[in-house]
Structure 1
Amino acid sequence: MKLSLLFLFLGFSLVNARHRVRINLGVSSSGSTFSVLDYGARADGLHDDSQAFMKAWNAACSSSGAVKLLVPPQRTYLLGPVKFKGPCKNVQSITVHMQGYLRATTDLGTYVNGDDWVEFGWVDHLTLTGGGTFDGQGSVSWPYNKCPQNKICKVLPTSIKFVETTNTAVKSIKSLNSKFFHIALLGCKNFWGNDIRIQAPSNSPNTDGIHIERCSGVNIYSSVIGTGDDCISIGQGNEQLVISGINCGPGHGISIGSLGRYQNEGDVRGLVIKDCTLSGTANGIRIKTWENSPGSSYATNMTFTNIIMKSVANPIIIDQEYCPYISCASKVPSRVRISDIFFRDIRGTSTTPVAVTLKCSRGVPCQNVNLHNVNLRYAGGAPAKATCFNIKASYSGTQIPEPCQ
């Protein structure tokens, strides 16, 4: 009898040991997949899961080889501001497989010291994918955004920010109702984004879809963006960017700028925007620079080709007198030098009579601006018009409206 009990005890202990090993492997640094559920995420949409996400990230980042941070599907996760920082020294690549529904806290008091919501920083070979949703719950915060009226204002949190990442891929994610920008890239190198879905109401303030600044080697393609500000905004210090296959609307269009607002801004060079459709937007393709620039910079070598405009208010616009406020402090000309700009195969309809506006700086007029095969008709029935200031553009092929004289 005692011998039987001994064997039974040993068998039970072995089963328990195997069970413990299996459980421990799920959260140990030797595994390749790290699920936020194994680190305490309740995933009920009510309790803050920020700490569980951070613990899972830290474990994955401290591991080695190719690792995955898993956010399981069919669950809702409430998150405050989280910072997923590297470098992850021994990790070859890290994939955030975001299949769940992330909901941002609406308590602005948790975003201290300029915090954004979800930030990835100083990571190499990061992939964010999985079909999940980032819901910024911005409608609660939009009334507190004073930036559209006041140049000196407190900026609300961006939903997803990438800071100085390299070799980053973002695919098949959705961003809803950001408090401020949906996605921001700052100082990133080699970034690929596709199948990104961005959505916010047309009257949501400063909800730029994707903002890019001080980056190089960025490719954004095959994505749908409808929001309350620029679908894509390209800020200072960028080079070698390709934007293609974007369906934009509602929103303010695709913008380079605004540029020239701050001292020591970097140049914008080597930009291609192609094969895009803009529907019902306030602008189409726009280059905008501030008056009274504190320093000089260049915006050069840009090509906009095969763009379809569907009921767009200002299909082609260069505005070097940009000022979104009721009045500006100074009327000093912009010092941003615009040159080597190519508009090719731009077609569709304008909801305003002036379909092409080329308003350049009287201090540094635009140089080498070329329009080829432009066919933009005024939806009101009358012939569309073009206006030009401080520029002598070059024209070829079809030109509707007629070129400025």
Structure 2
Amino acid sequence: MEVWPPLLVVIFTLYVVSPCCGLEAVAKNVTVAQLLPISSYHGGLATYNAKNFGAEGNGTNDDTKALMAAWKAACGAYGTVTLLIPPGTYYIGPTKFHGPCKASAITFLLQGTLKAATDLRRFGNDWIEFGWVKDLTVTGQNNAIINGQGAASWPFNKCPFQKDCKVLPTSVLFVNNQNTVVRDITSVNSKFFHIALLQSKNMKLINIQINAPENSPNTDGIHIERSTGVVISDTHISTGDDCISIGQGSDNIDIARVHCGPGHGMSVGSLGRYVDEGDVTRVHVRNMTFVGTMNGVRIKTWENSPTKSLAAHMLFENMIMKDVQNPIIIDQKYCPYYDCEHKHVSGVTLKDITFKNIKGTSSTPVAVRLRCGVPCQGVVLQDVDLKYMGEGGSSSKCENAMATYVGYQHPEPCA
């Protein structure tokens, strides 16, 4: 990348109208900064450095306005552009990186640390928001970190035991984006979810590192909702809740080579809590490893669903479980609160779901739990080998599952 010297002056020939002589060639000394508000320019690619817009990166001064100003300049430029966040620690409150952008493609390049404010009065539902942008790449270099500073907020999270709770801010929300790549980023200690995808299309998340303590509440690693064409791969998630959760209205989700633990495992759901939820379809999860998690692969739907929906066409294959409490679980009577009524079955129909080549160890005797409301349709277990090292070995429990079993089965199928 060719960098413009900060005081470089270039001679431009400007043609002006002279009162006496018509067109007149006049040599003018114009600084590059007057013409191009960029930090570097090479081969038609422009880079906007956040520090040129007032960001200090000292970890103390609030850089929110500076980063948003840098984004505005990059987003408003034409061509392929980069917003550079150079090494340093950038203390910021709620920050919106919104489009639509004039740029044909934009890269958000983080080389330092983004550190969240801790005063919850400043926040709505999220901290960093990328919205209404096409052809966006969010990438990191030099151990780029997004630090939600969640420890100060976790005591105020009432959601684990209060149904109508105030949700704390998600660290990074992607909403209404198309053709987005997120890669080589580390997210630590989110206040609530680490990364959430909402109403987005064609998203790729590659080599993401997510870390929060095992007892941190609702710190889901990656949450997907009302999105389509999502790929997650080669990622490591250690957190206090679901490593990956797939919410309502999601379609064509592909997940591969993800390490999960500690945490609550990988979940489809919870589904069926609200009116008019969208279906969840075409989910393919493979080559995941779960270590010491509460669950392995889980599908969970609420009781007493107000309207009907579908969760269908899912394949979970090539999974390794290491001391997982519930390696395979379908729970259509999900309710984490003590005052659930247990009066009506879930309104979510489960259909065409396959668990294939699931192996390892369970930390509880029941390694396979299939708890359907109305009968599940087309549940297949193929080549399952899950051992409980305690007395009596592993077992299965089923309710309205009507499952089909193929190949080797341990524990033995339900009667």
- TM-score, shorter chain, exceeding 0.5: yes
Distance apart, 1:382 and its partner CA = 2.7
Contact kept? 1:26, 1:33, Cα under 8 Å: no
Instruction: Give the letter for the 1:58 counterpart.
Output: K
Contact kept? 2:384, 2:410, Cα under 8 Å: yes
Distance apart, 1:392 and its partner CA = 1.0
CA shift digits 1:359-398 (9 cap, x unpaired): 000xx21011000000000032532000000121000111
User: What pairs up with 1:297-308 in 2 under 5 angstroms?
Assistant: 297-308=309-320
Contact kept? 2:250, 2:279, Cα under 8 Å: yes
Which residue in the other structure is 1:284 paired with?
296
Alignment of 1:44 with 2:58, yes or no, is yes
Alignment of 1:348 with 2:360, yes or no, is yes
User: What pairs up with 1:118-267 in 2 under 5 angstroms?
Assistant: 118-131=128-141, 132-267=144-279
CA shift digits 1:319-346 (9 cap, x unpaired): 0000111121452111100010000000
CA shift in 2, pair 1:107/1:25, >3 Å: farther
SS at match of 2:151: helix
Q: Aligned equivalents of 1:20 and 1:202: distance in 2?
A: 57
Identity %: 55
Contact kept? 1:198, 1:227, Cα under 8 Å: yes
Contact kept? 2:8, 2:32, Cα under 8 Å: no
Q: Aligned equivalents of 2:52 and 2:156: distance in 1?
A: 37
Which residue in the other structure is 2:324 paired with?
312
CA shift in 2, pair 1:285/1:317, >3 Å: same
Q: CA RMSD in A?
A: 1.6
Distance apart, 1:16 and its partner CA = 6.1
Q: 1:101 is matched with which residue: 70, 91, 113?
A: 113
Q: 2:407 is matched with which residue: 385, 389, 397?
A: 397
Which residue in the other structure is 1:368 paired with?
378
Higher share of residues assigned helix: 1
Instruction: Give the letter for the 1:252 counterpart.
Output: H
Distance apart, 1:101 and its partner CA = 0.6
SS at match of 1:54: helix
CA shift in 2, pair 1:254/1:25, >3 Å: farther
Distance apart, 1:21 and its partner CA = 1.8
Q: Aligned equivalents of 1:63 and 1:36: distance in 2?
A: 15
CA shift in 2, pair 1:99/1:24, >3 Å: farther
Which residue in the other structure is 1:57 paired with?
71
Distance apart, 1:42 and its partner CA = 1.1
Aligned length: 386
Alignment of 1:77 with 2:87, yes or no, is no
SS at match of 2:31: helix
CA shift digits 1:254-274 (9 cap, x unpaired): 000000000000000000000
SS at match of 1:201: coil
Give structure 1 stretches of 5+ with no counterpart: 1-13
Contact kept? 1:259, 1:288, Cα under 8 Å: yes
CA shift digits 1:198-255 (9 cap, x unpaired): 0000000000000000011000000000000000000000110001100000000000
Instruction: Give the letter for the 2:97 counterpart.
Output: F
Instruction: Give the letter for the 1:174 counterpart.
Output: T
Give structure 2 stretches of 5+ with no counterpart: 1-6, 12-28
Which residue in the other structure is 1:5 paired with?
none
Distance apart, 1:15 and its partner CA = 6.9
Q: Aligned equivalents of 1:109 and 1:15: distance in 2?
A: 45
